[in-house]
Structure 1
Amino acid sequence: MVDTMALLLPFGRASRTPRTVDHPAVGLPADAEVILDAPDDHLGPALVAAGQGAYEPAAELLAATRLRTRWEYRDGYVLRLAAFARSRPEWLQAWCAAAPHDPDALLVKAQLAVDHAWRSPARAELLRGVSPLITAAARADDRDPVPWRIALDHARGSRAGHTYFGELWEAALRRAPLHYGCHVAALRYLASSWHGSHRECFDFADRAAQDAPADSLVQALPTRAAFAYLTDGCGPGVPPERLDAAADRAIALSARFLAGDLWPAGMRNKLTYVLAQLGRWEDALEQLRLIGPYATSFPWSRFADDPLGRFLEVRDEIRVRAAAAAPGRAPADDPRSGLAGRVHSGDH
């Protein structure tokens, strides 16, 4: 019998350490119950099959997202499948050989190539060689915004100019004006291009959120701007009330999903970090309750080589500080007290 959990590595549980902390009084699952980057019921079987060398379930999964125009899910699945292919490439190689013009295979191949180039010291040069793969993925299905999200990431890594970036951004918006992945890619490009001018990043994020429906993931974009600000030395230019407003907008979005829902887990993990950095311990604790057992590598991988361990450490600190901030207790310390730890530079 195949060990499915082994095939799903690095999607692991906290039980790799002797910690068995339980938090029933505050509604949090025990540490040993927390899972890092848990795949959903559709992605999980595709990853298990890929671990066995079979690409067909992944092909069926991505074809379904394209048929139903479920672009946000498609984007997330492509990122996860490409990450899996970095260490287990055989299934993707077999897929590309069997169907070299398949839009879904081309998309995963392009994402994998960008990921590979991004980790090289010669990033900009290698990324220029990836352009034909992204073009092929975009041409394979003209409706699909995900190749354009990849193109926006590529533009940032290859130091493309603003004019070219603007053309990519317009092309992405024509296909899916509310696609969250494209908005995040654009925000990252702008942050890099403006060299830390966070006010402009907030302006971009706020305008996008104001134009989006209340249930759109784009409502969480200002929180991404807040995250960038809080992990960049907290330079001048962003008043505290703007950070709080970004968090409030994301809290309202989070409240639209059920507790323990896997789909908004990534958004809730980032929001928890921002709330903790703002010293909003009770709000952060409530997001931890909503997260339940679903930790995500980002943002915690930015601060530690063990993102699951870092999530659990921060969760403990939030629990303690929320209790200390309760009525009748002493106030918490400075919220920017090094809770995050050191920042890694590899994320893209």
Structure 2
Amino acid sequence: MATVSLEAIKKSFGSTDVIHGVDIDIKDGEFIVIVGPSGCGKSTLLRMVAGLETVTSGEVRIDGNRVNDLEPMDRDIAMVFQNYALYPHMSVFDNMAYGLKIAGTPKSEIVERVDVAAKLLQLEPYLKRRPRELSGGQRQRVAMGRAIVRKPSVFLFDEPLSNLDAKLRVQMRLEIKQLQKRLGVTSLYVTHDQVEAMTLADRMIVMNGGVADQIGAPLEVYANPATEFVAGFIGSPPTNFLKTDLASVATPGASTLGVRPEHLRLTTDPAPMSGTVLYSEALGAETLVHLKLVDETLVTVRQNATDPLPDEGKTVGLLWDARDQMLFDAQGRRCASDAA
């Protein structure tokens, strides 16, 4: 087990800066998810912790020790990749045991470690099979087993579920969370999927253009986003953004108002703001109603499936509680007078 500290981490490729200074202290046993859209720098940040990318400036510390100049094999980390990276000609047992064999681990200890990991991951019936004889989820378990047998201080996951179908991703998400809690190993997990981030993380780092826009517990970030980007990225459907003048909000310094779809209500009574219903999506327990405002802004309202469904083309009013709105300045930062 170990702590991990990133101190003013920056990364440049030539004259192009891709990571602009990230600071975080990760506690022993904590599960940190690095989340953001493609190209935001999340995988680059993880690879610097792994030693697969050099650090331009700043320091990476594992259990208090500076590791900037250490090779990946000397950092006591294990990494699980998106593509599994299994040896196709080897059995499941040999794939899981390979790193231990290379390290000169005694045969009896290798068998013991692989057996423990196989039992933990429900891979015991498949130890003699080749990867081609396994499902995607089973291959991912083998990749995780290969990391577990090494007994590392830190697990690093780089979008490990991206190749799985939606149903299997949900199942594997739960398994990874339970496994990490059982083992208690400090973990950093990269994903572009904000649902994965919300469900897996003890804390998450929301990356935006090489900057950590916000670091915090999932529900804290969801309830109190620090920037317009975070408010729009975390949450599905995303936050609606309105011009403050259209919404009749006159807070000094505020240029954009954000309201989540579940905080909006439709009314047939006169209201300060109205829109035209474009279409509705019935999703079973809930319905998403999509509207267009007078300035062409598109708005989504989430309502219960039992609520009255407005007709397409109808003009309806929009209401929300002031306590649920979020105000952002022209730079996209949360207004100080509004932030909780």
Task: Return the structure number with greater strand share.
Answer: 2
Task: Return the structure number with greater helix share.
Answer: 1
Which of structures 1 and 2 has the larger relative contact order (alpha carbons within 8 angstroms, sep 6+)? 2
TM-score, normalised by the number of residues in structure 2: 0.31
TM-score, normalised by the number of residues in structure 1: 0.30
